[in-house]
Structure 1
Amino acid sequence: MLNSRFDMKDMDLAHVILGIKISRTSNRLTLDQSHYVDKILEKFSNDDTSLARTPIDTSKHLLKNRGEAVSQVEYSRVIESLMYLMSCTRPEIAFVVNKVCQFMQKPLNSHWKKKKRILGYLNGTVNYGLHFTPTHLYNLTWLVTRMRTGHLIVMMRRSTTGIACFWVQILSLGNQRNKRYTVSRSSTEAEYRSVASLVAEITWIRGLLQEIHVHSSKPPIIWCDNSSTVRLTSNPVLHARTKHIELDLYFVREKVQQKN
């Protein structure tokens, strides 16, 4: 179809693009960066880097001023490589990469150990990637979560918002990990602001899909683990305690009522 309108040349099926390996079977397309992961491990991994089953140890928290300083240049080079890997085919390391990125100005040995754990996790999951299967149903499902432990990590008591989009059961669009710019006074406020940001993202992506003639058969579904936030999305009564998030309240509630 493109060849009928533009001067193009068929170069056969793609196998590697920008370090992303493309594998095909009769009913599945797989994208992975195993070659890129091998290069990262060869370049930055040492003999003392042990295998890890998870990319982060949640029992140990990162602090700004405890530990000895390490090379900022070397630390930044590792983080930049991990950020490219995360943004393409490894979204499961997005949370921990977001955390270690917050210490690039003055990295310490405790932050360096977190980096070593990420490399240990990658060493055991080199071939992990994204899988795509054919379908005629274009449904959007979004998962939003909020981790209110910023005070244990950077001593600023700011929440971290996580957003993941499953498009046709595939983790794909709009995956984000962001630290909030302001301090929330309740878990409901932090969660609802996250949902409002997600609804705005969904609105933009649905508009983009409609422009390329991809129409979803059902309204997008948002999963949220905060019961107060869920009730506020459909409750027509505006409580006095939620005046500071009134704009977000009406914005999300209107989208829920329109099923849009």
Structure 2
Amino acid sequence: MKDIGNVNRCLGINFHQNLEKGEIFLSQRSYAESVLNRFGMSECNPSNTPIETNCNLTLPARKDEAKFPFQCLIGALMYLAVSMRPDIAYAVNFMSQFNNNYTEQHWKAAKRILRYIKGTLQQGLLYKKTGADLYGVVDADWGANSADRRSYSGFAFIFAGSSISWEARKQRTVSLSSTEAEYIHSEKMPSLK
């Protein structure tokens, strides 16, 4: 085995290390910029949020699939969401449910995520020596999806000042109360043992 020094880039992730401060900053700026270029959004106006607050998209009766590369966009965004950007995890998960049936309205909502990324290209994960223990945060809504009344839930584990694991997903069953939505989510949480 040969030591080739500090890593600078691996799997589309840029590593910036400041060993004096004990910090490592991870970002996917280069990959995000390539996604913006690929979908013609490199000069777009940034958005403050990846998805509208009350986004009421539903499965359409007809398909506009031939017109828009929706699935390609969601796939590119999914890589960002699972590897480096917990801030877009919910929005990308929400939009992915329309992969097989979407319209221009869905395409515009997915492009809003790109507009958000345009305004947050400099963001990444900063890990530093904090001395704090690992902790997790979790939440679930109660039937916020107006189409099927299923709840969304999510979690994040924080260590060294930043997220190390996160997820946002739609629950498989309809919850009859907010307590049930929280309970269903807690059963699916990964174990730290």
Whether these two folds match at TM > 0.5 is yes
Q: Which amino acid aligns with 1:126?
A: L
**CA-based RMSD:** 2.0
CA contact (8 A) 2:71 2:99 kept: yes
Equivalent residue runs for 1:232-247 within 5 Å: none
Instruction: Give secondary structure in 2 for the equivalent of 1:151.
Output: coil
Provide the rounded CA distance (Å) in 1 between the counterparts of 2:180 and 2:125: 33
Q: What are structure 2's unaligned runs of at least 5 residues? A: none
> What secondary structure sits across from 2:25 in the alignment?
strand
Deviations 1:117-138 (A, max 9, x none): 101011111121000112455x
Contact 2:142/2:150, CA 8 A, preserved across alignment: yes
CA contact (8 A) 1:49 1:117 kept: no
Counterpart contact for 1:159–1:180, Cα < 8 Å: yes
Identical positions, percent: 31
Task: Please show how residues 60-79 of structure 1 align to structure 2 within 5 Å.
Answer: 60-65=55-60, 69-71=64-66, 74-79=69-74
What TM-score does the superposition give when structure 1 sets the normalisation length?
0.68
- Does the aligned pair in 2 maintain the 1:45–1:119 contact within 8 Å? no
Q: How does 1:57-206 map to 2 (within 5 A)?
A: 57-65=52-60, 69-71=64-66, 74-137=69-132, 139-152=133-146, 155-173=147-165, 175-198=166-189, 201=190, 203=191, 205=192
Q: Which has the higher helix share?
A: 1
Give the TM-score normalised by the residue count of structure 2. Answer: 0.90
Give the gaps of 5 or more residues in structure 1: 1-7, 208-260
Structure having the higher Rg: 1
Which has the larger share of strand?
2
**1: CA distance between counterparts of 2:71 and 2:14?**
25
In 1, the alpha carbon distance for the partners of 2:128 and 2:145 equals: 41
CA distance in 1, matches of 2:61, 2:114: 22
Q: Is residue 68–residue 107 contact of structure 2 (8 Å, CA) maintained in 1? A: no
Report if aligned partners of 1:72, 1:105 keep a CA contact under 8 Å in 2.
no
8 Å CA contact 1:72–1:107 kept in 2: the answer is no
SS, match of residue 38 in structure 1: helix
Deviation at 1:38, TM superposition (A): 0.7
Asked if the contact 2:89/2:168 (under 8 Å) is kept, the reply is yes
**How many residues are matched?**
191
